[in-house]
Structure 1
Amino acid sequence: MDTDPMSSEPHPSDVELLRAHVAGDPDAFGELFGRHRDRLWAVALRTMGNPEDAADGLQDAMIAAFRRAGSFRGDSAVTTWLHRIVVNACLDRHRAAKVRRVEALPEDVEDRGSLVAAATPADGPEATALDRERRQRVLDALATLPVEQRAALVLVDMEGHSVAEAAEMLGCASGTVKSRCSRGRARLAPLLLDLDATPSAPGPGNPPGPGTVQSPRSPRGPPAS
């Protein structure tokens, strides 16, 4: 169990909550879902492309997780298991509908890995407006990708998961995830060549943060100045 530093009451771990749910505790699953709801919602929203379909996909996933809790073997973290169920539920909905969403992805979710550097209020209203426009362009471009490529990029580039973790969630080989990410970035590159993801180029002294995507570049290198 984990202990809240502001309280002496121990908190059950994710695994303990899942086991309690399987044992019949009526509140355990709700507490588990509540812990991870925001991030699971962000994954569903970015994968599906709009709030309505994301809500349906997340609901499908939570029903599946509720029913399949007894099959959890502990080979991975509970959060990885939940992410895998959410992503697969969203992919199943995409495949069933046989559509490719092209709407702009919503921005009303917590950014866990901004695709472009965010302006701050201190930068002024013009910089803030430009930042919003640039971010929307990236999200619009991401929404044009085939869903399998989008899912891989959401997990690796936006949510900050490793390739191995994303492969486990998507139920495919690490090489497949790498290929989908590579193809997705290549498809984004022509749409975003004029965007600079960070104020200064990443390097040994300025590495990109976890889960932060640099603006896609051409396979031949950065665009000429």
Structure 2
Amino acid sequence: MTDPAERNDRELLAAHCAGDPDAFGELFRRHKDRMWAVALRTTRDPELAADAVQDGFISAFRRADSFRGDAQVTTWLHRIIVNACLDRLRRIKPTSELPEYDLADRHDVHGSTVVRLDVQEALGKIPEGQRLALTLVDMQGLPVSEAAQVLGVAEGTIKSRCARGRAALAELLRDKHGDGYAPAVED
């Protein structure tokens, strides 16, 4: 039997469907961190994100035979995780706020951390569709076509949501920091 770590995602999913007890564990190991990042950015709450990742991977485990193969396995997983996040978010009150951070008392906060917190706060203020599109395209690096598949919308919709979302974020950050605010872009 081939070591699961040596197989690609499609092979692992097929092996899981065929009864290989280790195949799905390898898929989980490979993609859990990225799916956690997607869930955290989508829900903006670590507990909800953890629950959504668990729900999503359980769903993927159970419905692996529904993978049609017309997208990458990671795209399929993204869609499942985003849907699990949206399901979790629909079950709670829509008034979840980001935690307050007292940055004035923190001497060890690096400028990029402040920028991340500002962007996270601004993301929480834009419409869900724009936030999800920006999370997948700009933060997770998915191509527009894959983001469209994950969210079940047209590529043009993703492009327009990203454009509107970027404009809204820029305005929110300008409102908070003035016209001279230009966050450094990190690799």
**Shorter-chain TM band:** 0.7 to 0.9
Trace 1:56-67 onto structure 2 (pairs within 5 A): 56-67=51-62
Which of 153, 174, 183 aligns to 2:134? It is 153
Deviation of the 1:128 alpha carbon: 5.8
Distance 2:108 2:10 in 1: 45
> So what's the TM-score if we normalise by structure 1?
0.70
Q: Please say if 1:77 is aligned against 2:72.
A: yes
**Contact 2:5/2:26 (8 A) holds in 1:** no
Structure 1: segments with no counterpart, 5+ residues: 4-8, 106-125, 200-207, 210-225
Deviation of the 1:162 alpha carbon: 1.5
Which of 130, 134, 152 aligns to 2:115? It is 134
Aligned length: 177
**Contact 1:45/1:51 (8 A) holds in 2:** yes
CA 1:145–1:102 in structure 2 vs 1: closer, same or farther (change >3 Å)?
farther
Alignment RMSD (CA, Å): 2.8
Deviations 1:111-164 (A, max 9, x none): xxxxxxxxxxxxxxx896333222211111112223222111100110111211
Which residue of structure 2 lines up, in the alignment, with residue 6 of structure 1?
Answer: none
- Identity fraction in percent: 56
> So what's the TM-score if we normalise by structure 2?
0.83
Which of 137, 148, 151 aligns to 1:167? It is 148
Which of 156, 169, 172 aligns to 1:191? It is 172
Matched position secondary structure for 1:39: helix
Which residue of structure 2 lines up, in the alignment, with residue 36 of structure 1?
Answer: 31
Structure with the bigger percentage of helix: 2
Which of 47, 51, 67 aligns to 1:52? It is 47
Query: Given residue 123 of structure 2, which amino acid in structure 1 is its aligned partner?
Result: L
Which of 9, 12, 15 aligns to 2:10? It is 15
Deviations 1:17-65 (A, max 9, x none): 1111111112211111101111111000111101100011111111111
Deviation of the 1:95 alpha carbon: 2.8
